[in-house]
């Protein structure tokens, strides 16, 4: 049963197509999202970064050297730069240095071809989608599949983008408003790792908000002036109560729910799911796949657990902990 914070009526657990069906199509393409929905996902999950002219596009990172064919385009050779983002120096091509029209001349490619060689068959075929195109796709698929396909956008590097005058927050609110999706019962969750960003979004968003929690001991905000707390501090009962003041749910890395030992074996579950439910937070968890293991296309209707493989066994195990998605 979903705790009271949920604005949706799912019977749970919901299935979120993380970056689309990214084992089968290059991630964050309309083709990957569409396949995820057709495989049974309730939500598709675009990570969001901006273009130079302020349009939101779906990429896991703003650096696009590994996920598009930009390095093969001589006209963009001089756009290659080195930047420090969230304390990490990165060299490559960045979405914020391209207008949407320029970005649309690029084509997506498989991010990890050594692990997903089959996906390279699709290299060069798909564009980088805008958030608007993702919403249009979700609407079309909802009609075709006769069930509502939700969207679950994540703001990526929001503090960095604020610092360069390309704040994600007003752009996201604007797109949701224009599509009639900024309402409590819209099938939308907005997620981020960055606390300050979500507190800000909470002031203008009506849709439920999910605080992402990383399994590592990393500082919870990448640019948190003077605040040295880590994600571990956010999953204490006090931390969860604080999250409840601006969010409706937590998106927990799997290891936060069931930690692993040094050999990769699962240890005893923590109390975090119960603790989060106690303060009224929905609990979503990520991510149920190994990069090289696939859920069968009919995984939601199959009754043969042996067919699911390790990824699904894990999924089942975690859902027994009571997660909502
Ligand atoms: O929903 C959680 C997830 O989106 C965070 O992981 O892949 O964006 O780094 P990722
Ligand atoms: Ca994400």
Residue bearing the CA closest to ligand 1, atom 6: 286
- CA distance linking residue 78 with residue 115, whole number of Å: 30
- Residue 47 in contact with ligand 1 by CB distance below 6 A: yes
DSSP category for residue 196: H
Reported ipTM exceeds the 0.90 cut: yes
Site to substitute for ligand 1 among 28, 251, 254, 325, most atoms within 8 A of C-beta: 251
| Distance (Å) of CA 137 to CA 154, 185, 232 | 17, 19, 37
Q: Is 87 left (phi over 0), alpha (psi -120 to 50) or beta?
A: left
N-to-C CA span, the chain = 11
Instruction: Classify 269 as helix, strand or coil.
Output: coil
Residue bearing the CA closest to ligand 1, atom 10: 60
Instruction: Classify 18 as helix, strand or coil.
Output: strand
Of all helices (H) and strands (E), which one includes residue 143? Answer: helix 131-145
Q: What is the pLDDT along the chain (325 residues), one digit of tens a residue?
A: 333 445 666 666 899 999 999 989 999 999 999 999 999 999 999 999 999 999 999 999 999 999 999 999 999 999 999 999 988 899 999 999 999 999 999 999 999 888 788 899 999 999 999 999 999 999 999 999 999 999 999 999 999 999 999 999 999 999 999 999 999 999 999 999 999 899 999 999 999 999 999 876 666 665 555 567 888 889 999 999 999 999 999 999 988 998 887 776 778 999 999 999 999 999 999 987 654 444 445 545 555 444 444 455 666 777 788 888 8
CA of 283 to the centre of ligand 1 (A): 14
**Backbone φ and ψ of 252, nearest 5°:** -95, 130
User: Contact, 131 vs 153, CB < 8 A?
Assistant: yes
CA of 86 to the centre of ligand 1 (A): 16
Ligand nearest the Cα atom of residue 43 = 1
- CA distance linking residue 213 with residue 256, whole number of Å: 8
Minimum-distance ligand 1 atom for the alpha carbon of 253: 2
Q: Are strands 88-92 and 81-85 parallel, antiparallel or unpaired?
A: antiparallel
Structure token digits, residue 141: 């698929």
Domain 16-319 in CATH 3.40.50.720? The answer is no
Ligand nearest the Cα atom of residue 284 = 1
Site to substitute for ligand 1 among 17, 212, 250, most atoms within 8 A of C-beta: 212
pLDDT score recorded for residue 309: 46
Minimum-distance ligand 1 atom for the alpha carbon of 16: 1
CA of 285 to the centre of ligand 1 (A): 10
pTM (2 decimals)?
Answer: 0.91
- CA distance linking residue 322 with residue 325, whole number of Å: 9
- CA distance linking residue 128 with residue 34, whole number of Å: 14
- Residue 286 in contact with ligand 1 by CB distance below 6 A: yes
pLDDT score recorded for residue 117: 87
- Beta-carbon count within 10 A of 112 CB: 14
Instruction: Encode 207-261 in three state secondary structure.
Output: CCEEEEECCCCCECCCCCCCCCCEHHHHCCHHHHHHHHCCCCEEEEEHHHHCCEC
pLDDT score recorded for residue 1: 31
Domain ranges of the chain: 16-319
User: Contact, 182 vs 175, CB < 8 A?
Assistant: no
CA of 156 to the centre of ligand 1 (A): 10
Ligand nearest the Cα atom of residue 216 = 1
Minimum-distance ligand 1 atom for the alpha carbon of 60: 8
- CA distance linking residue 182 with residue 149, whole number of Å: 16
- Residue 212 in contact with ligand 1 by CB distance below 6 A: yes
pLDDT score recorded for residue 264: 67
**Backbone φ and ψ of 78, nearest 5°:** -80, 0
- Beta-carbon count within 10 A of 229 CB: 14
Minimum-distance ligand 1 atom for the alpha carbon of 191: 1
User: Tokens 């610092």 appear where?
Assistant: 163
Q: Please state whether the peptide bond connecting residue 31 to the residue before it is cis, i.e. omega within 30 degrees of 0.
A: no
Closest to 145 (Cα-Cα) out of 35, 45, 49, 64: 35
């Amino acid at each position: 049963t979903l705790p009271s914070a949920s604005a949706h009526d799912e019977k749970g657990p919901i299935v979120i197509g993380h970056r689309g069906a990214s084992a089968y199509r290059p991630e964050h393409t309309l083709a990957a999202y569409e396949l995820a929905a057709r495989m049974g996902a309730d939500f598709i999950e675009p990570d969001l970064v901006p273009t130079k002219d302020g349009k939101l596009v779906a990429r896991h990172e703003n650096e696009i050297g590994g996920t598009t064919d930009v390095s093969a385009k001589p006209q963009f050779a001089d756009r290659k730069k080195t930047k420090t983002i969230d304390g990490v120096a990165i060299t490559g091509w960045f979405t914020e240095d391209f207008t949407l029209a320029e970005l649309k001349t690029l084509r997506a490619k498989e991010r990890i071809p050594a692990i997903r060689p089959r996906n390279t068959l699709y290299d060069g075929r798909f564009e980088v989608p805008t958030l608007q195109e993702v919403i249009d796709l979700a609407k079309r698929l909802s009609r075709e599949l006769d069930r509502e396909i939700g969207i679950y956008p994540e703001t990526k590097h929001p503090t960095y983008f604020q610092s360069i005058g390309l704040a994600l927050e007003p752009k996201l609110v604007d797109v949701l408003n224009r599509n009639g999706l900024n309402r409590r019962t819209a099938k939308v969750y907005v997620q981020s790792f960055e606390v300050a960003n979500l507190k800000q979004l909470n002031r203008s968003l009506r849709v439920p908000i999910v605080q992402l929690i990383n399994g590592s001991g990393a500082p919870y905000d990448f640019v948190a002036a003077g605040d040295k707390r880590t994600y571990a501090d956010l999953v204490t009962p006090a931390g969860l109560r604080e999250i409840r003041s601006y969010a409706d749910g937590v998106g927990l890395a799997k290891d936060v729910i069931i930690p692993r030992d040094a050999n990769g074996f699962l240890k005893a579950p923590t109390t975090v799911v119960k603790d989060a439910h106690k303060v009224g937070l929905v609990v979503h968890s990520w991510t149920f796949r190994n990069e090289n293991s696939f859920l069968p296309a009919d995984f939601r209707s199959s009754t043969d657990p042996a067919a699911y493989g390790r990824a699904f066994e894990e999924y089942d195990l975690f859902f027994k902990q009571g997660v909502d998605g």
